[in-house]
Amino acid sequence: MFGYILQRLLSTIPVVILVAIFVFVLLRLAPGDPAAVIAGDNANAEQIALIRTKLGLDQPIYTQFFLWIGHLIQGDFGESFFFKKSVGELIASRIEPTIALSLATITLAVIIAVPLGVLAAYKHGTAIDKFVMGFSVLGFSVPIFVVGYLLIYVFAIKLNLLPVQGYQRIGDGVGGFLLRLVLPTVTLSVAYVALIARMTRTSVLDVMGEDYVRTARAKGQVERIVLFKHALKNAAVPIVTVIGLGIAGLIGGVVVTESVYSIPGVGRLTVDAVLARDYPTIQAIILMFSLVYVFINLAVDLVYRIFDPRIRY
Amino acid sequence: MHRLLKSLAVVCTIATAPSLAQAQTTLRAVMQSDLKILDPIWTGATITQHHGYLIYDTLFALDANGDVQPQMVEKYDESADKLTYVFTLRDGLLWHDGAAVTAEDCIASIKRWSARDPLGQKLAGFIETMTADSDRTFTIKLRSQTGHLLSGLAKPAANVPFMMPKRIAETDPTKQITEYVGSGPFVFKSDEWKPGNKTVYVKFDKYKPRAEPPSGLAGGKIPYLDRVEWLAVTDKMSALNALLQGEIDYVEGVPHDYIQLLQDSPGIVLFLRKKLSNQIVLRPNHLHKPFDNPKARQALWYALNQKDFLDAVVGNPNYYAVCKSYFICGTALASPVGMEDLLTSDAAKARALLKESGYDGAPIVLMQATDTLMVNAPPVAKALLEKAGFNVDMQAMDWQTQVARRQRKVPPDAGGWSLSLSSFDSAEIMDPMVTAMMNASCDKGLAGWPCDSGIEKLRDDFARATTLPEKQKIVEAIQIREREIVTHVPLGQWYSAGAYRKNVDGLVDGLALGFWNIKKKN
């Protein structure tokens, strides 16, 4: 097991290097010029060229790349073109809201979706099943920003129960932190509840006809134990996969949700950085997200064994 | 006993703390964009100018009528030959770090500004010497007369000649400053600045306002608010929802689509920022066919009309004005001279001019920025230009791509461009010197690179002009010349709308929102 983890961790190195090269080259090939953006509308070519020189953008791409890699090896992500702050510092200041939102979302989604999926499988073909599946289709189909605005309209504007926007750091009070997290979490959870519930229903349905389920029932086990201990445990591997992919895929949803609720997280930083062509910030964020993706995949692989001891590494 | 007293003191402190906190007035505002760059001399970004007006002050400023008024300056003397100006600063002006504002600080600030700003560079050509006569007095000697020394020092927009302490103003003009000490009505809280989230300013208790009432960017700038917070809310709908709920107090730049929503909401005041009107501008690229030929550029005058663009971009006629003038209608330099018969969508006349130009029907590349207010303007241009016989290839892209592509001098079919549409606010197009689009000095000008010694000579004449009638006459001559040269086409003006809650009062309509004079009832 330890050898497997070490091997997987070492295998992330070439992945990260490839991602770094790919992102760097892609950004330089993409249209847009940070110097022109910084200079503003009234700047002439001379002023823009001066800024390009100051930012080092007049250097050949390979020189820029090796300079960046050199700093990266020393743990230095560079300085944001726009904020004149170190990118590491910038990301660190924006990470808490994103982590809080992602964790809350996936926790809420799992708590709601897994029992819902199990229930739908158990009540297969009934109105309950159709309702859960109908909700799943709706959850997939409605864009996140529509859900967001709808929830704001009902719970913030009409009922005046929750704030419209903003984020409060946990250090500034747990009450305010939770209050401001409710609507964004629910907004972002809708799609994940739909996804996980659907996968849970399918997986549980697949194992419901297996011999061990019939045996458990024949032994007189109560239905709750049959469903959650025998059926769900054996159906867990694909569900865990979906949850893992869901966590990795949260990035996209977080970007929209953070914008709608004005949460100063990494998602919004990504959008701002892309729009401003802030190369050092974009490069660092993509590298960070690829590392997160690799580690989540590793964690998912390790969790498989908890549910299926036959899996060996 | 001692312990008891100590405990009582703690209890009292805790008990009084909330009431002190409540006494503080904080205005929460959502500005047009997030503040990213803090040096207003280094960048011309509008949001950085707003930031500048909170923390810095200027020697002179424009009042509500657009007239130049002394601001940090107490008095100034002009020699009879208009070549020597002696400025005396107001007594008691302080920097936020407590040091007194001196003449040397102002000289260093003017030098840094004039190294960066195009108008400043032009003025620097007139200035022979700048010398500090005492702590509060300095003299500027000119080589030759110009009527723009004071108006230059009162320049309201990119880049504003804000005054900074000498040690900061001596920063290399090509590098950003790293210390933000001004003498303006508010102090920037760098420890609370969280890019992408919040920017905070607090009242400068030792600010010494002028005695006159506020007017535009001039007059008494009394900071009544204890604290101003700019919240970075990128989504306009979220910002307006937060305004409706009272989570924020002010929104700058309300999209015209949302005006109806706010008009129907009690508790909200919607206002037009008429001083801050904007002009839609079409820019042809003079380097390549067909617009390297003046006849093809002149065809634009006849193919287009302003109302179609204003209807598409703004929609509601209460928020726009047809204005056949290079300078904003309602200002001293606005004039219809030379433009009366233009912009009428006379397709036949446009076709005739196009034929004279020898246009061969090759596609012209019209750039469309899909993420700005101007998104609806290019389709209008395409339709009108096609009626006039142009073959238009409209290419969609985001604004930042357009900004970068605009700098490319290669032909349109090799990744360059033919036409670009954008919008400028009135402070950026006040007169022929400030209007960068009018710079016709070929490579030294803005992208589009018009080249005409006639316009440049008239702009130089304008720089030397000392009276308003003289300036108006030169502007008319420029407009007549522009009819031939067409550096850019003005496509009408529109007004920026802002909204605030009814418990906020005292906003001053000017070319920038400085947050002075504003009161908020808790």
Q: What is the pLDDT of residues A245-281, one digit of tens each?
A: 888 778 778 888 998 999 999 998 998 898 888 999 9
Contact B404 A32 (CB under 8 A): yes
Tens place of pLDDT for every residue, chain B, 522 residues?
Answer: 444 444 444 444 444 444 444 468 999 999 988 898 899 998 878 889 999 999 999 999 999 888 899 999 999 999 999 999 999 999 999 999 999 999 999 999 999 999 988 789 889 999 999 999 999 999 999 999 988 899 999 998 878 999 999 999 999 988 889 999 999 999 999 999 988 889 999 999 999 999 999 999 999 999 999 999 999 998 888 999 999 999 999 999 888 888 888 888 889 999 887 777 899 999 999 999 999 999 999 999 999 999 999 999 999 898 999 999 999 998 889 999 999 999 999 999 999 999 999 999 999 999 999 988 899 999 999 999 999 999 999 999 988 889 889 989 999 999 999 999 999 988 888 899 889 899 999 988 899 999 999 999 999 999 888 888 999 999 999 999 999 999 999 999 999 888 999 999 998 877 777 899 999 987
**Shortest Cα distance from B194 to chain A (angstroms)?**
8
Listed in order, strand segments (DSSP E) in B19-126 are 26-30, 60-62, 68-70, 73-78, 84-89
**Shortest Cα distance from A276 to chain B (angstroms)?**
7
Q: Dig out the tokens for A186 from the structure.
A: 């629910």
How far apart CA A53 and CA B450 sit, in angstroms, is 26
**Shortest Cα distance from B93 to chain A (angstroms)?**
30
Binned at pLDDT 50, 70 and 90, residue A16 comes out as: confident
Q: How many helices (H) and strands (E) does chain A have?
A: 14, 0
Dihedral sign from CA coordinates of B426, B199, B159, B482:
negative
Q: Please report residues of B whose CB lies closer than 8 A to that of A160.
A: 245
Check whether A30 has a pLDDT greater than 70.
yes
Listed in order, strand segments (DSSP E) in B242-373 are 250-251, 268-284, 320-321, 364-369
Partners of B129 in the beta sheet? B141
Contact A156 B241 (CB under 8 A): yes
Q: Which of B240, B397, B403, B501 to mutate to test the interface with A (most CBs of A within 10 A)?
A: B403
How far apart CA A120 and CA A117 sit, in angstroms, is 5
Check whether A206 has a pLDDT greater than 90.
no
In chain A, the domains with their CATH numbers are: 1-87 (no CATH), 94-307 (1.10.3720.10)
**Shortest Cα distance from A70 to chain B (angstroms)?**
24
CB pairs under 8 A between A and B: 134
Q: Is B62 helix (H, G, I), strand (E, B) or coil?
A: strand
Q: Is B268 helix (H, G, I), strand (E, B) or coil?
A: strand
pLDDT value for B200: 97
Determine the residue of chain A that is closest to B41 in CA distance.
Answer: A39
How far apart CA A227 and CA B413 sit, in angstroms, is 65
Q: Indicate the residue of A40, A271, A277 with minimum beta-carbon distance to B158.
A: A40
Residue with tokens 């929750």: A162
How far apart CA A117 and CA A205 sit, in angstroms, is 9
Cis preceding linkage at B156, omega within 30: no
**Shortest Cα distance from A263 to chain B (angstroms)?**
8
Task: Say if CB B28 and CB B247 are below 8 A apart.
Answer: yes
Task: Say if CB A99 and CB A184 are below 8 A apart.
Answer: no
For residue A218, the one-letter residue type is A
Q: Which of B43, B249, B400 to mutate to test the interface with A (most CBs of A within 10 A)?
A: B400
Contact B195 A85 (CB under 8 A): yes
DSSP state at residue B194: B
Task: Say if CB B335 and CB B469 are below 8 A apart.
Answer: no
> In Å, what is the CA distance from B150 to each residue of B59, B77, B140, B161, B392?
9, 12, 11, 11, 45
With an 8 Å Cβ cutoff, is A166 touching chain B?
A: yes
Per cent of chain A over pLDDT 70 is 99
**N-to-C CA span, chain A:** 6
Contact B245 A54 (CB under 8 A): no
Strands B84-89 and B504-505: unpaired
Residue A228 — left, alpha, or beta (φ > 0 → left; ψ -120 to 50 → alpha)?
A: alpha
Q: Which of B160, B230, B407, B430 to mutate to test the interface with A (most CBs of A within 10 A)?
A: B407
Check whether A213 has a pLDDT greater than 90.
no
CATH number of B26-230+503-520: 3.40.190.10
What integer is the mean pLDDT of A172-201? 93
Q: Which CATH superfamily is domain B275-496 in?
A: Dipeptide-binding Protein; Domain 3 (3.10.105.10)
Q: Where are the domains of chain B?
A: 26-230+503-520, 275-496
Contact B241 A261 (CB under 8 A): no
Tell which residue, B95, B193, B430, B234, has the closest CA to residue A90: B193
Q: Indicate the residue of B36, B118, B235 with minimum beta-carbon distance to A82.
A: B36
Phi, psi of B88 (to 5 degrees): -120, 125
Contact B245 A48 (CB under 8 A): no
Contact A36 B235 (CB under 8 A): no
**Shortest Cα distance from A27 to chain B (angstroms)?**
12
Task: Say if CB B138 and CB B132 are below 8 A apart.
Answer: yes
Q: Is B146 helix (H, G, I), strand (E, B) or coil?
A: coil
**Shortest Cα distance from B92 to chain A (angstroms)?**
34
Phi, psi of B187 (to 5 degrees): -110, 135
Nearby residues of B320 by Cβ (< 8 Å), 6 or more positions away:
B310, B313, B314, B492, B493, B494, B495
Check whether A309 has a pLDDT greater than 80.
no
- Could you count the other beta carbons within 10 Å of the beta carbon of residue B398? 16
Q: Please report residues of B whose CB lies closer than 8 A to that of A149.
A: 237
How far apart CA B507 and CA B514 sit, in angstroms, is 9
Q: Indicate the residue of B247, B428, B444 with minimum beta-carbon distance to A166.
A: B247
DSSP state at residue B375: G
Residue count of chain A? 313
With an 8 Å Cβ cutoff, is A79 touching chain B?
A: no
Q: Which of B197, B283, B401 to mutate to test the interface with A (most CBs of A within 10 A)?
A: B197
Strands B519-520 and B504-505: antiparallel
Contact A32 B401 (CB under 8 A): yes
